[in-house]
C-alpha cells in the first residue's frame, strides 16, 4: 500500500501526508446549492446549481484555481504553500480532509501556512482561512499572496467582462453584465478581512504572458500591479498582504470568494461571511449535522477501517449523493437506490426524493433515465428500482401515507398516487415482453452501456427480467403491509411465476444466467458468445431474486468466483469485449477493462457481497469487501482516496493500469457498500414490524457491537458466536429475528447469538 | 514601436526576432479542408472542417501543443527549442513567418534547431521538419524529443480511447473508436522518418502527474517510458531520437501528425507525407500559388510597408478568408464582401461563392446571417451586400452568364436566378419599412451587436437605409450592363429617391446622420442620445451612397474627424455606451471601447478611407491608413502582427488597454483595406468596359508604379503628378479615365497624369 496518510477518527479527519500521490486526492465541500470540488492542493472547481442545465461557476479551473503564494520580502524568494510547484524542501506538509472543511498545512524555512477551505451552510461562496505563522525566533517579513482564478466570463463574449478593486466593497469585484444572460449571478467578489496592500485582477499582469503559475512575474516586484482589467480571457484574483511576523507570531486572513447579483449583494454577502467567528461556526454546524447522522449507526468491529467507513466516511459519501446526486447528474435509478439507503438516516428526505423521482415517470410507467439534466434515452429499467426504495422507506419509518401521495406523471396532465406510479411501473415491465416472454431490453437497463441491444424492441434483457421478479416480490410485500390486496398479490405472483419460467427456459445455462437476447436474436453473456460470456449482475441478482434453489444459486455464484474474480474484485463481465459490436452498443466500444466492459465496477461488487450474504457465505462476502479496500495489498497503489469508495477499478484486461481508480465519490456503490456492511453482514435492517438482526459475520470477527437508531429508539446490539441463533432484547429472548418497535427516545440492549 | 522583427520581401518572410512580444503572434497554415493556427512558438490548434457544426482536431491544445525538447545526454541538461520555458540564454532565436510554412530557429550552447511546420496542399495533417545542427567543433550527444498533444478524445467518453506504438505503422497510433460517432476520423497518427529510440503516449508518463511542460519527468531518465495508454484524459505524442552529432554535423527528422480513418489509412497517408522531398515540394506549391496571385497586382510606391502589404501579406490574409471565411464561421455578409475583393484574383472562385451565399437567402429575400454554422438570428442587412459583390464580379470578368444561374432559396422548394435573388433581396429591404419610411432594423445590420433595437419590427436603421440607397444604385448599374431594363431602373430610382428623402427627413441632423430609430421610437446615434451620439458608419456610408452634395458630405466627414478620431484610428461610435441599454442590445453591454461599442473597428475605418478618397481627401485617407499600421508611433506596442490587419484596437475609452489588438487575421477589414489602397488610393478598378484609373494619391507619394492584370491582360501603370488628369495608354491619350479591354496575354503601358 502506498503510504498516503492516516485516519484520525477522534476529529473525523483523514490526514494526507503524501504531497504527490499517484493521482490527486479529492474532497467535496457543499451546501444545498453550492459545491466545491477540490483536490489535496485545494485545486478544483466550485459552482452553484441553478437549473439542471445551468451551473454558475465561481472557480472553473480545475488545475490552478487557488494558490497561496508566500514571499520572503528580504530575500525575495517566493514559493507557494499549497501546491509547491517549485518542489521546495518543505519541512512539513499535510492535507487534513475533514467533515465540511479541508486544510492544507505546510512549513518552509520556518514559515507555517495553514490554508483552510469551507463552504458556508447557505449561500454561494467558498471561504478561505489562511494562517501564517513564524516558527523561527527572528522577525520575518512575509508577503502573503492568495490567488484564485475566478470564473468571470459566464458567457463566451469577453467584451461583457470588467473587473477592478472596488473601494466600496473594499475587495476585488468582477462583473460580467451580459446581454440576455439567463441568470443574474453576473458578478464574482473576492474580499479579505484585511485590506490588501496591492492586488491583481488579470493573469497577464500577475503571471505574465509567458510565465507559469510557478513563476508569476508579479512576485518579482515589491507590489502587484494594482491594475484593473476588462475584456480579459484570464482574470485572476490576487491580493498581497505585507505581514511582519515577530518570532512565533501568527496572523490570520479570511477570504470570501463568491458570486453575487450586484455590488450590493456582494457587500451583504461579505458582511455575513467575514463576520468574526462565522468561518468556524460554519464548519461546526456541518460537523454537528454529520455527528447527528453518524450517531444513527455506530459500529465497533475488529476491523478499524470498516468501523471508520461505516461510522464516518461512507456516511459522508452518502451525504454528498443525498444532496448532489452524482453532482453533474441526477438519475432516477441512482436516486432511488440512494433513497433505499437514506431512509434509515432521513425519512423525510427519502419521502421527498421518492416523489421527486416519480414525477419524472412517463405516463406509460417508464421513468426518465436522468432528470437533471434530462436524459430521454429510452432506458427500460427505471421502474424496477421503485418498490425497493418505497419498501425501505416503509420499513424504516412505518409511514404508509406516502403511498397515497398524489404525484404527476412526466410532461402530461395525468397524475396518480405513489402506489399507482409503482404499479404502473411494474405493468410497464410486465406488459412489454418479447418473443421469449422476457422483459424487453429497450435502450438499456442498469447497464447503461448496452445501449443498442434492444432499441428495435425485440431484444429481451434477462437481467431486467430477473430484477422484475425481485421488484414484484417487493411490491407484493408493500401490498401485504397495506392489507386488503390479496387479489392483486395473487395475480402478480402468478405473473411473476410465468416470467420466472420464461427466464429459466431461455436465459439459464445451468451454471449461469445469460444477460439477455438482443434485437438480432443473439444471446448476450452466454457460453455461446465469443466475448462477454459471463456477466456478474445476472448471477448476483438471480440470488437477490431467488431464481433458483440454494444449490442452483451456489452453482451460479461459483461461476462468478471462477470466471470473474481478480485481485481487486469481480469484473462486470468476462472476457471483456475487445472487438466493437454494434449489436451490444457503447460498452463494446469501451476499452477492455473500462467501465461496464470488464472493469471491477464496485456497484456490481456490492450486489455480489449482498448475494454472498444471502447464501450465508460470510467469509467470501468479507473477502470481496477487503478486495475493494484502498489498502488491498494486491492493489497497493490504486489511486483511490482511502476515505471513499471508488466507482471502479480498471479490470485486469486493461493493458496499462489494471486496478487503477481514476475517480471516486460519485457512485451508487457508496450506499450499496454501506448496506452490505450494515444490513447484510451485520444484518441489522429495518422491517415494517421491527428491527431485523440477521448477521452474516466473517469468521474472524468476534466482539462486534452495533448501536442503531430505528424509529427513533436506540438498539445497542452485541453479537455472540455460539453456533445457533438466538435473539435477546432487554434480557428477554425473542421469537424470530426481529426486535420489536419501541417508544421514541428509548434505548435497548440486544444480544444476538448466532 | 516595439521591435518585433522585420520583413524579408525577397523570400516573402516576416522574421520575428522578439521571443516574448506583448502577445503571441499568430500565423495560419492551411489547405482547403485542414488548418493549423499557430503562434510564434508553434503552439496552437489544428483541425479539419467536416461539417459546419463539426470539426475534427488533431491538436486542440492552444497552449502547449508542440514542443521540441533537446537534451544533452552528457550533462543531462534539457530545455525546449521553440518555447524556451526555462528562459535559457539562447544564442539565437527567430521565427520566420513564411507563405505556407513557419520556422522557429534557436541556438543554445552551439546546438541549432530549426523547427519548420507546414500543411500539405491536400490531406488532414500537419508536417514538421526538425533540423538539429551541432555548431561546435566537438561531438554532441543530443536527445531530440519532439512532443505534441494530439486530440484523441473526439467524444467525451474517455473509455473509447487507446494508444500505443504501432509496429506496423512504425509510429504512434491513437485510436478513439467510439460508438455512434458522426464521422470516421477516429484515429491520430504521429510518425517520423526515423524510428524513435523510445516514446511516450501519455502525459502522465511523460510530463508526470505534478510536473509542468517545462520540466517533464521523462527527461530525467535515459529513455521515455515506452508505455502505451488507454482511457487517458491527456494523451501525448513524444519520441526520443538519440542523435550523435559530429562537429558541424546536421541531422533532420520529418514528422507527420494527422488524422486517419484507420490504420491502413494512416499508413497510406504517412507514405505520402514522409516521402523524401514531399515536405519541401508542398511548401513550394503553396508559394508558387501565392506568387501567381501576388503577381496580379504589384505596387511600387514610396511606402515600403504599403508595398509589402499589397504585394504579399494582405493577399495572404485575403487568401485565408477566401478558403476559410472567418475560420470558425462563414457569414453571408462577410463572404459577399470578400467576394467583391476576390473577383480581381479569382473570378471562378468569386462566381461560386456568390452562388453558395445566395443559396442561403430565404425565399423572403433575407439571407441567413451565417451559414456555417447556421445562425438564424434575424439580421436584416444580408441582401444589401449582394449587388456590390455581383457588380464587382461583372466588372472584373465581363461574365454576364452568372446572372442567369439558377440557385435555390434556403430551406424551401423555391429557386430562381442570381438576378432574381438580388432583386428579391432588394425588395425585402425596400418593402419592409417603418413608420418613418426607412428600412426596418430587424435583429440587426452590419452592426451585429445592435441586436435588440428592431426585433419588434418597428425600429428603423438609418444605416441600413443608406446602404440600401447604395445597393439600389449598384443594382441599377447591373441592369444597365444587362440592357433592356429601363423600366425597372426607372422604378427603382424612384423608390430610391423616396427612401433617400425619408432618410434626409428623419435621420439627418445637419452635421451627421443618426444610426436609426429603435422599437421604442428613440433615436440611436443622435445628438439627442445621452451615449453613443455619433456613429462612424452612418457618415462614411452616406458618402459611399452619395446622400448629400459634396459640401454636405464634407460636413458630416468633418464630424467624423471631430468626434471619432483618436491616436490609432476612428472609433465606431462615441461616446461609447457605459451604461447597459436593452433598447440597443448586446453592444450596450460591451465594455466601452470594445468591439462595436467604441473600439477602433478597422472594417469601419476602411469604409472611412474609401469615403475620404471619394471626397478627394488623399492625405486624410493616407493618414487614416497610417494610424492603422502596426508601426503607428502613437500606438507603438499594439500587439498586432506586423504582417496582417487587425479586426480592432480597443478604443480610447477602454480603461486598461486602449490601442491593444487582441487578435488579427479574421476580419472583413483585410479585403476592404486592400481595396482602399488599390481601388481608392491608387484608383485602379475594374469596370465593365475597361480598367478605371482614378488615383487619389497622398501628396507625399511620387514615382508610383502599379502592374495590374485585368481580363488577363497586364497594365503597367505609372503615375505623374501634373495637376490635371490625363490618361495615356500605350502612348495614346484616352478620353475619360478608363483604359480599354485588351486581348488576353497582352501587356500595356499606361501613364496616368493627375
B271-317 tens-digit pLDDT = 999 999 999 999 999 999 999 999 999 999 999 999 999 999 999 99
E-strand stretches of B320-470:
330-331, 370-372, 374-375, 406-408, 415-417, 460-461
Report how far residue B201's alpha carbon sits from residue B178's, in angstroms, rounded to the nearest whole number. 19
Report how far residue B606's alpha carbon sits from residue B628's, in angstroms, rounded to the nearest whole number. 9
Question: Would you say residue A286 has pLDDT above 70?
Answer: yes
Q: Are A559 and A604 in contact (CB under 8 A)?
A: no
Q: What is the mean pLDDT of residues A691-701?
A: 97
C-alpha cell at A18: 503524501
- Other CB atoms closer than 10 Å to residue A20's CB: what's the count? 14
Chain B residues whose beta carbon lies within 8 Å of the beta carbon of residue A236: none
> How close is the nearest chain A Cα to the Cα of B333, in Å?
21
Question: Would you say residue A3 has pLDDT above 80?
Answer: yes
Question: Would you say residue B207 has pLDDT above 50?
Answer: yes
C-alpha cell at B558: 468633418
Place of cell 467582462: A161
Instruction: Give the nearest partner residue to A20 out of B210, B588, B595, using CB atoms.
Output: B210
The answer to whether the CB atoms of A23 and B594 lie below 8 A apart is no
Report how far residue A48's alpha carbon sits from residue A63's, in angstroms, rounded to the nearest whole number. 19
- Other CB atoms closer than 10 Å to residue A615's CB: what's the count? 16
Phi-psi region of A580 (alpha: psi -120 to 50; beta: other; left: phi over 0): beta
Question: Would you say residue B37 has pLDDT above 80?
Answer: yes
pLDDT in tens, A625-641: 999 999 999 998 999 99
Q: Which residues 6+ apart lie within 8 Å of B496 measured at CB?
A: B469, B472, B473
Chain B residues whose beta carbon lies within 8 Å of the beta carbon of residue A450: none
pLDDT in tens, B639-660: 999 999 999 999 999 999 999 9
pLDDT in tens, B490-518: 999 999 999 999 999 999 999 999 999 99
The answer to whether the CB atoms of B452 and A179 lie below 8 A apart is yes
CA nearest to B577 within chain A? A160
CA nearest to B215 within chain A? A86
The pLDDT score that the predictor gives to residue A318 is 93
The answer to whether the CB atoms of B177 and A580 lie below 8 A apart is yes
Q: Is the dihedral of CA A612, A616, A617, A621 positive or negative?
A: positive
Q: What is the mean pLDDT of residues B147-162?
A: 93
Average pLDDT, chain B: 96
Chain B residues whose beta carbon lies within 8 Å of the beta carbon of residue A202: 656
* % chain B with pLDDT above 70: 100
Chain A residues whose beta carbon lies within 8 Å of the beta carbon of residue B231: 591, 594, 650, 654, 657, 662
Q: What is the mean pLDDT of residues A297-302?
A: 97
Cα dihedral: A577, A581, A582, A587 (round 10): 10
Question: Would you say residue A1 has pLDDT above 60?
Answer: no
pLDDT in tens, A592-616: 999 999 999 999 999 999 999 999 9
Cis peptide, bond prior to residue B419, ω within 30 of zero: no
pLDDT in tens, A43-55: 999 999 988 788 8
* Residue B2 pLDDT grade (very low, low, confident, very high; cuts 50, 70, 90): low
The pLDDT score that the predictor gives to residue A277 is 98
The answer to whether the CB atoms of A157 and B23 lie below 8 A apart is no
Report how far residue B562's alpha carbon sits from residue B558's, in angstroms, rounded to the nearest whole number. 6
Instruction: Give the nearest partner residue to B209 out of A23, A160, A657, using CB atoms.
Output: A23
Q: Are B33 and B124 in contact (CB under 8 A)?
A: yes
Chain A residues whose beta carbon lies within 8 Å of the beta carbon of residue B22: 209
Phi-psi region of A741 (alpha: psi -120 to 50; beta: other; left: phi over 0): beta
Kindly list the residues of chain B whose beta carbon comes within 8 Å of any beta carbon in chain A: 20, 22-24, 85, 157, 159-162, 177-180, 202, 209-210, 212, 214, 227-231, 451-452, 580, 582, 585-586, 588-591, 594-595, 597, 650, 654-657, 662
Chain B residues whose beta carbon lies within 8 Å of the beta carbon of residue A582: 179
Bridge partners of A28, per DSSP, are A37
A with B: how many residue pairs have Cβ under 8 Å apart? 99
ipTM score of complex: 0.94
Average pLDDT, chain A: 96
C-alpha cell at B727: 490618361
Question: Would you say residue A2 has pLDDT above 80?
Answer: no
Report how far residue B87's alpha carbon sits from residue B65's, in angstroms, rounded to the nearest whole number. 19
The answer to whether the CB atoms of A589 and B179 lie below 8 A apart is yes
* SS3 state at A263: helix
> How close is the nearest chain A Cα to the Cα of B81, in Å?
15
Q: Which residues 6+ apart lie within 8 Å of B9 measured at CB?
A: B308, B311, B312
* % chain A with pLDDT above 70: 100
Report how far residue A479's alpha carbon sits from residue A182's, in angstroms, rounded to the nearest whole number. 46
> How close is the nearest chain A Cα to the Cα of B177, in Å?
7
Chain A residues whose beta carbon lies within 8 Å of the beta carbon of residue B161: 591
The pLDDT score that the predictor gives to residue B1 is 46
Chain B residues whose beta carbon lies within 8 Å of the beta carbon of residue A159: 589-591, 594-595, 597
Chain A residues whose beta carbon lies within 8 Å of the beta carbon of residue B657: 230-231
Instruction: Give the nearest partner residue to B591 out of A162, A202, A451, using CB atoms.
Output: A162
The answer to whether the CB atoms of A594 and B231 lie below 8 A apart is yes
Kindly list the residues of chain A whose beta carbon comes within 8 Å of any beta carbon in chain B: 20, 22-24, 85, 157, 159-162, 177-180, 202, 209-210, 212, 214, 227-231, 451-452, 580, 582, 585-586, 588-591, 594-595, 597, 650, 654-657, 662
Question: Would you say residue B601 has pLDDT above 50?
Answer: yes
Question: Would you say residue B537 has pLDDT above 70?
Answer: yes
Instruction: Give the nearest partner residue to A160 out of B85, B160, B589, using CB atoms.
Output: B589
HEC secondary structure over A515-533? CEECCCCCEECCCCCCCCC
Q: Are B346 and B393 in contact (CB under 8 A)?
A: no
Report how far residue A681's alpha carbon sits from residue A719's, in angstroms, rounded to the nearest whole number. 12
Chain B residues whose beta carbon lies within 8 Å of the beta carbon of residue A650: 231
Amino acid at each position: 500500500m502506498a503510504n498516503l496518510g492516516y485516519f484520525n477518527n477522534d476529529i473525523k479527519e483523514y490526514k494526507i501526508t503524501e504531497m504527490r500521490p499517484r493521482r490527486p486526492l479529492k474532497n467535496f465541500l457543499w451546501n444545498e446549492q453550492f459545491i466545491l470540488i477540490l483536490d489535496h492542493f485545494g485545486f478544483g472547481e466550485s459552482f452553484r446549481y441553478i437549473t439542471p442545465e445551468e451551473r454558475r461557476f465561481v472557480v472553473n479551473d480545475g488545475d490552478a484555481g487557488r494558490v497561496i503564494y508566500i514571499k520572503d520580502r528580504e530575500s525575495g524568494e517566493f514559493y507557494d504553500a499549497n501546491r509547491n510547484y517549485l518542489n521546495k524542501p518543505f519541512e512539513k506538509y499535510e492535507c487534513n480532509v475533514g467533515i465540511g472543511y479541508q486544510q492544507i498545512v505546510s512549513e518552509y524555512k520556518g514559515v507555517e501556512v495553514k490554508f483552510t477551505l469551507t463552504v458556508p451552510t447557505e449561500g454561494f461562496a467558498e471561504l478561505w482561512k489562511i494562517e501564517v505563522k513564524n516558527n523561527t525566533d527572528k522577525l520575518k517579513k512575509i508577503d502573503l499572496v492568495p490567488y484564485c482564478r475566478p470564473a468571470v466570463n459566464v458567457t463566451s463574449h469577453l467584451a461583457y467582462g470588467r473587473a477592478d478593486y472596488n473601494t466600496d466593497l473594499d475587495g476585488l469585484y468582477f462583473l460580467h453584465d451580459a446581454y440576455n444572460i439567463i441568470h443574474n449571478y453576473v458578478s464574482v467578489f473576492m474580499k479579505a478581512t484585511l485590506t490588501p496592500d496591492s492586488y491583481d485582477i488579470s493573469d497577464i499582469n500577475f503571471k505574465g504572458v509567458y510565465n507559469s503559475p510557478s513563476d508569476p512575474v508579479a512576485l518579482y516586484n515589491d507590489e502587484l500591479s494594482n491594475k484593473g482589467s476588462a475584456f480579459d480571457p484570464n482574470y485572476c484574483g490576487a491580493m498581497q498582504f505585507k505581514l511582519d511576523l515577530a518570532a512565533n507570531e501568527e496572523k490570520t486572513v479570511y477570504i470570501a470568494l463568491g458570486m453575487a447579483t450586484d455590488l450590493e449583494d456582494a457587500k451583504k454577502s461579505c458582511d455575513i461571511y467575514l463576520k468574526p467567528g462565522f468561518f468556524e461556526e460554519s464548519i461546526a454546524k456541518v460537523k454537528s449535522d454529520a455527528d447527528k447522522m453518524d450517531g444513527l449507526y455506530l459500529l465497533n468491529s475488529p476491523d478499524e477501517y470498516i468501523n471508520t467507513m461505516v461510522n464516518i466516511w461512507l456516511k459522508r459519501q452518502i451525504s454528498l449523493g443525498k444532496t448532489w446526486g452524482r453532482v453533474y447528474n441526477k438519475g432516477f435509478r441512482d436516486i432511488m437506490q440512494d433513497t433505499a439507503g437514506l431512509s434509515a438516516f432521513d425519512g423525510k428526505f427519502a419521502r421527498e426524493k421518492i416523489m421527486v423521482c416519480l414525477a419524472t415517470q412517463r405516463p406509460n410507467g417508464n421513468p426518465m433515465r436522468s432528470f437533471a439534466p434530462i436524459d430521454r434515452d429510452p432506458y427500460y429499467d427505471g421502474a424496477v428500482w421503485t418498490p425497493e426504495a418505497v419498501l425501505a422507506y416503509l420499513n424504516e419509518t412505518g409511514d404508509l401515507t406516502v403511498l397515497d401521495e398524489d404525484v404527476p406523471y412526466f410532461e402530461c396532465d395525468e397524475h396518480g398516487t405513489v402506489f399507482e406510479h409503482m404499479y404502473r411501473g411494474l405493468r410497464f415491465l410486465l406488459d412489454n415482453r418479447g418473443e421469449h416472454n422476457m422483459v424487453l431490453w429497450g435502450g438499456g437497463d442498469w447497464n447503461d452501456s448496452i445501449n443498442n441491444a434492444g432499441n428495435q424492441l425485440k431484444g429481451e434483457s434477462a437481467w431486467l427480467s430477473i430484477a422484475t421478479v425481485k421488484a414484484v416480490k417487493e411490491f407484493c410485500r408493500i401490498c401485504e403491509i397495506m392489507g386488503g390486496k390479496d387479489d392483486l398479490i395473487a395475480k402478480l405472483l402468478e405473473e411473476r411465476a410465468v416470467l420466472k419460467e420464461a427466464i429459466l427456459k431461455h436465459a439459464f445455462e445451468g451454471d449461469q444466467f445469460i444477460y439477455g437476447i438482443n434485437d438480432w436474436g443473439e444471446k448476450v453473456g452466454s457460453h455461446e458468445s465469443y466475448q462477454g460470456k459471463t456477466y456478474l449482475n445476472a448471477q448476483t441478482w438471480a440470488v437477490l431474486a431467488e431464481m433458483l434453489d440454494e444449490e442452483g444459486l451456489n452453482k451460479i455464484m461459483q461461476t462468478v468466483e471462477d470466471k470473474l474474480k481478480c485481485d481487486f474484485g469481480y469484473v462486470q463481465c468476462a472476457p471483456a469485449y475487445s472487438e466493437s459490436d454494434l449489436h451490444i452498443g457503447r460498452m463494446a466500444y469501451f476499452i477492455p477493462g473500462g467501465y461496464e466492459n470488464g472493469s471491477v465496477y464496485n456497484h456490481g461488487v456490492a450486489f455480489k457481497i449482498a448475494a454472498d450474504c444471502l447464501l450465508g457465505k460470510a467469509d467470501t462476502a468479507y473477502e470481496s469487501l477487503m478486495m475493494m479496500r484502498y489498502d488491498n495489498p494486491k492493489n497497493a497503489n490504486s489511486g483511490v482516496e482511502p476515505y471513499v469508495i471508488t466507482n471502479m477499478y480498471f479490470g485486469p484486461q486493461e493493458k496499462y493500469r489494471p486496478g487503477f481508480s481514476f475517480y471516486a465519490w460519485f457512485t451508487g456503490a457508496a450506499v450499496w457498500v454501506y448496506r452490505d456492511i450494515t444490513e447484510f453482514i451485520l444484518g441489522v435492517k429495518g422491517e415494517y414490524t421491527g428491527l431485523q438482526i440477521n448477521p452474516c459475520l466473517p469468521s474472524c470477527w468476534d466482539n462486534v457491537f452495533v448501536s442503531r437508531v430505528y424509529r427513533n429508539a436506540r438498539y445497542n446490539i452485541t453479537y455472540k458466536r455460539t453456533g445457533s441463533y438466538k435473539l435477546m432484547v432487554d434480557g428477554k429472548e425473542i421469537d424470530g429475528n426481529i426486535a420489536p418497535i419501541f417508544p421514541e427516545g428509548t434505548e435497548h440492549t440486544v444480544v444476538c447469538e448466532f
